[in-house]
Structure 1
Amino acid sequence: MVEIVFLAPFITGILAFFLPKRAGRQLLVGTGAIHLFLSLLLWKNRPESIFKDYFAVTPEGLLSLLVISLLFFLISIYTIGYLKENNIQKENIFSGSILLFLSTMTMVTLSDHIMVLWIAIEATTLASAPLIYTHRSSASLEATWKYVLICSVGIAMALLGSVLITLAMDIGNVDVPLSYPALVSVAQKLDPLWLKAGFVFILVGYGTKMGLAPMHTWLPDAHSEAPSPASALLSGVLLNCAYLGIFKTNKIMHAAGLGDFAGMILIVFGLMSILAAATFILKQNEYKRMLAYSSIENMGIIAFGTGVGGLGVYGAVLCMIHHSLIKSSLFLSSGNILLGYKDRLIKNTGDMIRCMPKTFIAFFAGFAGIAGFPPFGIFIGELFIIVAAFRTGHYVAVGIFILSLCVIFAGFANQVMKMAFNNFDNNNDNFDNDSSDKGDSNKKVCLTEKASLVWPQYILLLTSLILCFFIPDTLYQTIVEAVTAIGGGLK
């Protein structure tokens, strides 16, 4: 039964609101293990849903589901150690919300109906908002309201886009269910004008949740204020769920012969996002916000690759998978940095290689992976996207793409080097003998790097690395099935 995969964390999430701390923490890991087991069964057996018109096991949904399940299981292990080190008020609300967040994200991956998918994506907003407000500060309240307001406006636009697609059905005298397979099968009969309008509104709406510029403004604040396990889920998983809504709608556009129209808009939004990230990442003074802008960059890369088509779509899906693994690892490592240095400012961290060697390895390896160094998968994905862009004649666009990536790498590398190697006096917090930074704080780096606080990051990075050299045949076939629907492939 397909539905049990998202019903299980929903039930345990409700229970977590009424359980004490210790039981709630154990429930997180237990639910993560059960969810991973159910997801693997779903991957192996591919059963039919009870509500066939609303839920289905699709290639693109399976890819996202497996990523969600693996990430949540590892993040839940990290979360136990994180909660022991960090005094969080109303921990039962945190545990319950994060399980409900898992349930709603799973529902997104299994939804195959245009309105059910919209409901599921809106539900992710409601489930994740309490996670951003966990620390109950004025800054976290502002970030939460910005997140809810901006994403709700975006989701409202996606709803309008969905309504416009139904209007395209009415004008084309089409009477089929609003499931994606049914819409794809009759796409040629839909009115092209209203279908184009519907796609634009859906792209802007779900693109807001995905973090595409210029609708990205909620993302840096939310990631900065949310606890690191929540940030890892927001960046590594939630953004993919929003992309799934765009991806499924893009299938209808390609079936209707409007792939070029959809592709050009995706390229524009992708480049805008990469340029926005390049602009802001150079002057970032907080490492969690820096990682947030890196997520905006990677969502732009994925949108750009999807828009280019062909080999670029395959590269975009590779970037999506590896970004989830690597960025989640980076956000978990940022949680260790915050626990150790008690500060989010880059200038108030330093000498991580000596003070926090295990975290340094994970953080620096994550930086290498997310920056596109070989042999990490993002390098391979970006290479495929660049080759596809040259093949399709998008010379100006790919030039801007490559230049922006170079700028982002320079800014990112500059900040990471400061955090990793700048001189840090563990007694006086003296950074490079710069008097302007002396006395900013009088604390020492104090964090015991327990196994639960470092091994999840290592496993995530190792998984990404292994997938660069060996992709199981079932995984490869699933990727090919997903990208073929929108004109993608390895040719």
Structure 2
Amino acid sequence: MLEIIFLIPFVTGAAAFFLPRAIGRTLLVLTGAIHLLFSLFVWVSQPAARFPEYFAIAPEGLLSLLVISLLFFLISIYTIGYLKASAVQRENIFTGSMLLFLSTMTMVTLSDHIMVMWIAIEATTLASAPLIYTHRSASALEATWKYVLICSVGIAMALLGSVLVTVAMDVGHVEAQVSFTALTGIAGQLDPGWLKAGFVFILVGYGTKMGLAPMHTWLPDAHSEAPSPASALLSGVLLNCAYLGIFKTNAIMHAAGLDGFSGPILIIFGLLSIMAAATFILKQTEYKRMLAYSSIENMGIIAFGTGIGGTAAYGAMICLIHHSLIKSSLFLTSGNILLGFGSRLIEKTGSLATRMPKTFVAFFGGFAAISGFPPFGLFIGEVLIIIAAFRSGNVVVTAVFILSLCVIFAGLANNVMRISFSPADSNTPIKDQTSLVWPQYALLLTSVALCFWMPETLQQTIVHAVKAIGGGF
């Protein structure tokens, strides 16, 4: 039964709230390992759902499921060392929420019914909010409320958009299940006016959760205040889940022949996100907020490539996968820096290369990767998007896209160099635990490995996923 893959972390997560600290930590890693094995089983066997009207396996969902499972397993291993080294209040709430978060994100990847997708994405908000409030400070409380309120407004708009899609069915006199699979099959019969309205509300609603500008304002605060393992999940996985809702709706628009309407809107929101990141990243004083704005940039790149279509849609999916790997690595590494220096402020760090050499390698490697340098996967994705954008005739838009990426690189490089090489108040080496570094190395090496060798099944899954929105390679 397909649904068991999100029921397991739901049960273990509920149990973790009442278990002792040591058992909760073990349960976290054990559940991550079991979830990864089940994800591989689903990838190979593709079992049928017990409730096929609500859940189904789709190529884009499979990709996200495998990324979620791999990331959570590595992050859970890192979390054990992180919890031992940091003061986390009410650890049982933290571990329980992590597991419930895994359950809800998994549910998003398998949702086929348009309303079940909405419920699952809303559930990710409820499951992840306690993670942001872990340290129980005034700033953490503010970030949590901002996250809940802004995302709830966004999810309400997504609900309205979902209802408008069903109105498009009624006006078009269409009788079908309200699932993405069924709606894509009969998209040409839906009323185009109501379908366009539904897409706009869904894009704005799920775009809020995805971190697209100007609905992104919750993201820097939440990522800054959450513990680093939670930040890694929020940026590396949660944003992808919100994108799935937009992707599936865009597939309906493409099937209805309305991609000429949805594509430019995605391009505009994507470009706005990249430009917003370029504007704010230059003046960042905290390295975790800097990484948060980098996430906004990358979500903009993905939306931009999706809107361009064709080869750019393929590049966007490549960026989606590699951003998850790389950004999760960077947020975990930021946890090491915070443990070592005791501050999120960039000016309070320095000489990372000599004081924490193992962490420095992961941090600098992550910087090179997220900046789009070869041999990391974002380089391939961004090049494909730029080539396709030029071929589509969007010369001015593409020029703004490239210029904004250059500004973001300059901002990142300036801060990374200060953290890594600028003189610090003390040159005393800081304890650099291997257990808090090797998960980052594994994530970065996975990104490199996928550039040189991509399994045929993975390649075909990406092709089949982007084909639904008119993409290809």
TM-score normalised by the chain length of structure 1: 0.96
Is residue 2:35 matched to residue 1:35?
A: yes
* Corresponding residue of 2:245: 245
Report the alpha carbon displacement of residue 451 of structure 1 after superposing the two structures with TM.
2.2
List per-residue Cα deviations over 1:188-209 (Å, max 9, x = no partner): 0100000000000000000000
Question: Do the aligned residues in 2 keep the contact of 1:483 with 1:489 (CA within 8 Å)?
Answer: yes
Output the CA distance in 1 between the equivalents of 2:435 and 2:224.
22
Amino acid across the alignment from 1:357: P
1:473 to 446, 451, 456: 456
Report the AA paired with residue 226 of structure 1.
A
- 1:182 matched to which residue of 2? 182
Gaps of 5+ in 1: 428-443
TM-fit CA distance, 1:245: 0.2
- TM-score normalised according to structure 2 size: 0.99
Q: Secondary structure at the match of 1:92?
A: helix
Q: Distance in 2 between matches of 1:97 and 1:422?
A: 38
Q: Does 2:436 align with 1:453?
A: yes
Mapped partners of 1:88, 1:405: distance in 2: 36
Give 1:279's aligned residue.
279
Q: Secondary structure at the match of 2:135?
A: coil
Which letter maps to 1:474? T
Tell me if 1:154 matches 2:154.
yes
Assess if the C-alpha contact under 8 Å between 1:55 and 1:111 holds in 2. yes
Given that 1:105 and 1:121 are in contact with CA atoms closer than 8 Å, whether structure 2 keeps it comes out as yes
Partner of 1:216: 216
How far apart, in 1, do the equivalents of 2:344 and 2:122 lie?
30
Residues 340 and 445 of structure 1 are in contact (CA less than 8 Å); yes or no, is this contact kept in structure 2?
Answer: no
Deviation at 1:100, TM superposition (A): 0.1
Question: Secondary structure in 2 aligned to 1:407?
Answer: helix
Q: How far 1:33 moved relative to its partner? A: 0.2
**Deviation, structure 1 residue 449:** 2.0
SS of the residue aligned with 2:88?
coil
Matched AA of 2:451: C
Letter in 1 for 2:57: V
Query: How far apart are the structure 2 equivalents of 1:19 and 1:375?
Result: 44
Residues 332, 457 of structure 1: 8 Å contact kept: yes
Shift of 1:341: 0.1
Partner of 2:410: 410
Describe how 1:93-112 pairs up with structure 2 within 5 A: 93-112=93-112
Deviations 1:412-468 (A, max 9, x none): 0000000000012426xxxxxxxxxxxxxxxx764x322220000000000000001
1:49-60 correspondence to structure 2 within 5 Å: 49-60=49-60
Q: Which residue pairs with 1:388 in the alignment?
A: 388
Q: Which amino acid aligns with 2:448?
A: L
Which residue of the partner structure matches residue 66 of structure 1? 66
Which residue type is aligned with residue 305 of structure 1? G
Q: Give 5+ residue unaligned stretches, structure 2.
A: none
SS in 2 for 1:233: helix
Q: Secondary structure at the match of 2:18?
A: coil
Tell me which amino acid in the other structure corresponds to 1:126: L
Question: Which position in structure 2 is the counterpart of 1:255?
Answer: 255
Three-state SS of the structure 2 residue aligned to 1:49 is coil
Moved more, 300-309 or 372-381: 372-381
Secondary structure, counterpart of 1:344 in structure 2: coil
The superposition leaves residues 21-42 of structure 1 with CA deviations (integer Å, 9 ceiling, x where unpaired) of: 1110000000000000000000
Question: What's the offset of the Cα at 1:408?
Answer: 0.3
- Aligned partners of 2:317 and 2:462 also within 8 Å: yes
- Supply the distance in 2 between the matched residues of 1:166 and 1:484 (Cα, whole angstroms): 24
Distance 1:452 1:69 in 2: 20
- Measured in 2, the distance between the counterparts of 1:240 and 1:292 equals 14
> What number of residue pairs does the alignment pair up?
473
Give 1:349's aligned residue: 349
2:47 match:
47
Taking the aligned partners of 1:452 and 1:214, their CA distance within structure 2 comes to 38
Detail structure 1 runs of 4+ shifted over 4 Å in the superposition.
none
Q: Which residue of 1 aligns with 2:132?
A: 132
Q: Which whole-Å CA distance do the structure 2 matches of 1:19 and 1:425 have between them? A: 42
CA distance in 1, matches of 2:272, 2:284: 19
Deviations 1:70-105 (A, max 9, x none): 000000000000000001110000000000000000
Counterpart of 2:333? 333
Structure 2 equivalent of residue 198 of structure 1: 198
Distance 1:165 1:77 in 2: 42
CA distance in 2, matches of 1:96, 1:375: 37
Say what the alpha-carbon RMSD is for the aligned residues. Answer: 0.7
Is the 8 Å Cα contact of residues 358 and 434 (structure 2) preserved in structure 1?
no
Identity rate of aligned residues, in percent? Answer: 75
Q: CA–CA distance in 1 between the matches of 2:465 and 2:296?
A: 23
Q: Is this contact kept in 1: 2:235–2:324, CA < 8 A? A: yes
CA distance in structure 2 between the aligned counterparts of 1:369 and 1:213, rounded to whole angstroms:
23
| SS of the residue 1:169 aligns to | helix
Equivalent pair of 1:359/1:449 in contact (CA under 8 Å): yes
